A and B are shown apart, each in its own frame.
Chain A
C-alpha cells in the first residue's frame, strides 16, 4: 500500500537561510511524487513533480527536491528562504497500487519564516 509521511508538522527558519522539508514515502510500485504549496485560505499550487526522469527535480520559486529510492525520501529544499515562502507544504505520492490508482497527500508541513 502507498503512504506518505511528512516528518515535521512545523519548520521555522530565518529569512535568507536554507529550507529543508522532509518527506518519506512507501509504494509497492514506482510512484510519482509531488510537492504542493498552500497559502492561507487558498487552493494548492504545484511546486514540482518527479515522474521517473531525473532524480533531482527543480520547481518554481527556487525550490527543488531529490528523489532517493534507497532512502524512500523526497525532501524539498531551497537555498535561501524568503518571507513569501511562509505557507503549508504538502508531499504527495501517486501511482498504481494493489487497490488501483491512488493519490495520497501527506499531512502537511507549515513553514514559518522569521525576519
Chain B
C-alpha cells in the first residue's frame, strides 16, 4: 500500500544538537510538506516543496532546514537555532500544490533533553 513513512517515531535531542527527521513517500506525489503540531495550536507549516530541488519557507521556518533531492524524500533538520523544538512533527504530501487531499505520515515526536 502507498503511504508516507516517518522515522523515527520518537527522538530525543540534547541542547545544541542538530537532528534530522526522515520522511519518505511512495505515492508519486509532487508536493511535500512539514508541519509542526503543538497542543491547542493546530498545525503550523514549516516548509513545503512542489518539485525536486525546490522548496519554500512556511510560516515558522526559522531554525529548520530541508532538502528535496529525490521526489520520494523530504527530510527536515531541526537545528540548534530552533529555540523550542519539542513538538510533534508531521510530514504530508499531495499530488500537486493546490491538490486538496493531504496524506499524512504518522509523525515524529521530538523531545529536547
Contacts and interface: CB of A to CB of B under 8 A. Distances in A.
Bind each other: yes
Which interface residue of B6, B100, B101, B109 has the most chain A CB atoms within 10 A?
B100
Contact of A101 (B9, B98, B106): B98
B17 interface: no
* Residues of B in contact with A, size category: 20 to 34
B41 A42 contact: no
B47 interface: no
B40 A108 contact: yes
B2 interface: no
A49 B43 contact: no
A67 interface: no
A49 B101 contact: yes
A51 B40 contact: no
B109 A90 contact: no
B45 A107 contact: no
Name A's interface SS. Answer: strand
B43 A90 contact: yes
B97 interface: yes
Given A43-B104, A46-B102, A49-B100, A90 B42 contact: yes
A13 to B, nearest CB: 21
Contacts of B6: 43
Interface of B: 4, 6, 9, 35, 40-45, 88, 90, 92, 97-98, 100-102, 104-107, 109
Given A36-B104, A41-B106, A43-B4, 15 more contacts: A32-B100, A41-B9, A41-B107, A43-B6, A43-B104, A43-B105, A43-B106, A44-B43, A44-B92, A44-B102, A90-B42, A101-B97, A105-B35, A105-B44, A107-B42
Interface of A: 9, 32, 34, 36, 41-46, 49, 51, 90, 94, 101, 103, 105-108
15 contacts: A41-B9, A41-B88, A43-B4, A43-B6, A43-B105, A44-B92, A46-B101, A51-B100, A90-B42, A90-B43, A101-B98, A103-B45, A105-B42, A106-B42, A107-B42
